[in-house]
Chains A and B, each alone.
Chain A
């Protein structure tokens, strides 16, 4: 793909092929055809118009820009009209712009589709929205706020900025990057990195991926953040400013990141997501707000430790059953009593917490 201008040809590279493969798998899982449409409210239409008008700013050719904007508007409208349970939010247009950039090209002043047709593209975006964005598309910001509240917990998990300033207050400063999955402020320079991020989001099959990725970036740029924000003796203490500055730093750095480094971070994020075991709480979207609010990484650790102890216990008990004088008998008995006590304490604590 020509990095200096819009893609004007039908060709597509390996990374794009991978994205499309994931999307093809995704649309098999969900039926997105809904012909029962509902007209959008005038205020929603007005907001869409305002945001579409401010999209594809990186396209220099005005005719091409208008064509892309027109396609963007039609696509957003079609998806929302067919899914009246979803509410438009500023930032949704950024994600749809990303898909249009990759799946459309302009030839002879007309929009063409790369390896798909307009209906398939609508299916891709609808399924992607259904799987990963539906929490952000609810009537209000309540669900999105739960996401933002969870970021400090992950930062704590990574042992970055265990400052009191973060506490458990929502990480408001991250909202633009979280709810647009880093597609806010798209340009030709950062398009490749956004392709990698979106592909990994789909691959993760879990929206918590984006939260962990955000925290991972903060961790990755820790030294830089320390230098720019926390080095001065009279450094800023307002959490809202610090959040915004951190977000600015990681957004700027992400625009200039080396692709190999980015891919490594994404790979590690996926690995971390699996070890953090929060994907069961999130699944595609946030399935149970209560579970997330009460989620405690240490609780998971205690549970894992207990499970391991019980497993060792069972092995020892199996060995001791035929020989009462065996050292396994003593070890097994002590372990069993110890484990039973621990499990009772754990379950009592669980019950009290609930």
Chain B
């Protein structure tokens, strides 16, 4: 997978993947996105009201994939709006702050919100523990988050938007997994340039599965 170097909004692509960034307010979603899309980090970032988006074109298996990434507001009152943007998403990153336990605990709620608002349950979800550079303030053990990701069949990465650690990896893993799955199954809402739906979802998370089913499944893509 390689970056095509084109971060502008353009129409020159083979596949379009709509991705959403969700998680509590202040966990660093906007900086993760600006780091990934523009290699930029704003120490003084502003709060996101409603939604914002950025795109990045990447090459996977010789195909240009345009990732259209929606950054959503974390405050609960904006959920009425942000969930409108989940429609058609093929990937999601649930972000928490490794120094703030509450933001990690709320990840289950974010999973539920995704499951109740997606029309298509075949979506690849990643769990991101951000602010990895603040190790001395860590309050969420990595093992616990890994376990949570494993149980819920989520991809998992700890990142630092500040030091640019694992940011590329987190998005790459998500996009590649969506692409790989799309080669095996149909029904996923990736959009090709000529607007026909392409294939979807092999090892993707089925959010309608019972917890028991989820736990017994060994085909998770986590960790």
User: Residues of A with Cβ closer than 8 Å to B?
Assistant: 47, 50-51, 54, 57, 87, 89-91, 93, 140-142, 145, 170, 172-173, 175-176, 179-180, 184-185, 232, 234-235, 240-241, 244-245
Contact = CB atoms under 8 A, between A and B. Distances in A.
A197 to B, nearest CB: 17
Given A140-B77, A141-B78, A244-B53, A57 B25 contact: no
B50 A175 contact: yes
A179 B52 CA distance: 15
Nearest to B191: A238
Given A47-B75, A232-B11, A241-B68, A90 B81 contact: no
B51 A179 contact: no
A232 B25 CA distance: 36
Contacts, number: 66
Contacts of A87: 77
B162 interface: no
A184 B73 CA distance: 14
B49 A175 contact: yes
A241 B10 CA distance: 12
Given A90-B47, A244-B52, A244-B53, A47 B25 contact: yes
Contacts of B48: 90
B9 to A, nearest CB: 7
B136 interface: no
B77 A89 contact: yes
B44 interface: yes
Given A90-B47, A179-B49, A234 B78 contact: no
Contacts of B84: 172, 240
A89 B52 contact: no
B77 A141 contact: yes
A57 B47 CA distance: 11
A54 B85 CA distance: 25
Contact of B49 (A90, A170, A235, A244): A90
Given A234-B193, A241-B68, 7 more contacts: A54-B45, A57-B45, A142-B80, A172-B84, A176-B50, A180-B49, A245-B9
A141 B11 contact: no
B212 interface: no
B78 A176 contact: no
A91 to B, nearest CB: 5
Contacts of B45: 54, 57
22 contacts: A47-B25, A47-B75, A50-B47, A51-B47, A87-B77, A89-B75, A90-B49, A90-B78, A91-B49, A93-B47, A141-B77, A142-B80, A145-B81, A172-B51, A175-B81, A185-B46, A232-B11, A234-B193, A235-B11, A240-B51, A244-B53, A245-B9
B25 A172 contact: no
Nearest to B75: A90
Nearest to B79: A141
B26 interface: yes
Given A90-B73, A241-B53, A54 B11 contact: no
Given A89-B77, A141-B77, A141-B78, A240 B50 contact: no
Contact of B81 (A91, A141, A245): A141
A178 B44 CA distance: 23
Contacts of B53: 241, 244
Contact of A234 (B11, B46, B51, B85): B11
B51 A244 contact: yes
A240 B51 CA distance: 10
Contact of A172 (B47, B50, B68): B50
Contacts of B47: 50-51, 54, 90-91, 93
A184 B46 contact: yes
Contacts of A47: 25, 75
A54 B47 CA distance: 7
A241 B51 CA distance: 10
A176 B44 CA distance: 18
